Amino acid sequence: MKALVLAAGYATRLRPLTDETAKSLLPIAGRPMLDYVCDRIDEVEEVDELHVVSNALFAGSFARWAETRAGRLCPLVHDDGTSSNEQRLGAIADLRYVVEQADLEGEDLLVVAGDNLFDFSLQEQVEFWRSRSSLVEGGRASCVAVHRCRNSELLSLYGIVELGENGRILNFVEKPERPATDLIATASYVFAGEHVALIDRYLAEGNSPDQPGNLLAWLYSREPVYGFVFEEFWLDIGDHEQLRAADELLRGRLGL
């Protein structure tokens, strides 16, 4: 299994911080945000390669970060060639770009957004995915980490999933006015190699190349996709307030 961290966005809501520093490299409790994500990926025994996709504006910064990172896996940085938010490829197109550039065709992929902080175990998510894949003919299933959110006021801000037998996704609705469940789809996915190959078809049909949730919404109605439910801490860092909250939380944990 290969891992890919999506980190090629321009994070306009975090300007001016992101004018000079990539969002995923912003410090939280003294470490780049991306370190915490990669620490979790390092724990997944099946993963033997770690890829990070950046844009051209910050590719050099990611390369320098990769050279000094002291983790189990040495990150391989890919420059998607864009240099502005207007030129961005979008997360799904970036995923396809890395698959082509790194020759990952046919590989199962663990895909995680570089701006998510979480306490749940990616190893457990992969084990859940394998257990569900064994229920499907041919073993071709995918999986998304699903956070059970106890704050009902936040539910309409995210993609909401409904799960059926064995955790298979029955419905996915982006930012519904009246959420049917308290389950939020997060940006942590395990894609079967056969499903990765469907990205070409997804893009060829004219679907949005951005936001991984769009691919999830397209895929679950065509192929088996399961939801790995967790209740541990999770934070999608999108603005200054969320960045501040993450910094304060981790500093508190470390006694800083």
SS (H, E, C) 174-226: ECCCCCCCCEEEEEEEEECHHHHCCHHHHHHCCCCCCCHHHHHHHHCCCCCEE
pLDDT at 183: 93
Domain count, the chain: 1
- On whether the pTM is more than 0.85, the answer is yes
Reduced DSSP (H G I as helix, E B as strand, rest coil) percent helix, strand, coil of the chain, to 5: 40, 25, 35
pLDDT at 67: 94
pLDDT digits (tens, 9 = 90+) for 17-28: 999 999 999 999
pLDDT at 179: 85
Query: What span, in angstroms and rounded, lies between the C-alpha atoms of 54 and 45?
Result: 25
Residue 141: pLDDT over 90: yes
Q: How many CB atoms lie within 10 A of CB 23?
A: 23
Query: What span, in angstroms and rounded, lies between the C-alpha atoms of 250 and 37?
Result: 13
How confident is residue 154, by pLDDT bands cut at 50, 70 and 90?
Answer: confident
- 178 φ/ψ angles, rounded to the nearest 5 degrees: -125, 90
pLDDT at 177: 81
Domain that holds residue 161: 2-254
How confident is residue 253, by pLDDT bands cut at 50, 70 and 90?
Answer: confident
More confident residue, 141 or 159: 141
pLDDT at 138: 78
pLDDT digits (tens, 9 = 90+) for 186-233: 999 999 999 999 999 999 999 999 888 899 999 999 999 999 999 999
Mean pLDDT of 81-102: 94
Query: What span, in angstroms and rounded, lies between the C-alpha atoms of 76 and 38?
Result: 12
Q: If you average pLDDT over every residue of the chain, what do you get?
A: 92
pLDDT digits (tens, 9 = 90+) for 44-59: 999 999 999 999 999 9
Residue 156: pLDDT over 80: no
Which CATH number characterizes residue 226's domain? 3.90.550.10
Residue 129: pLDDT over 80: yes
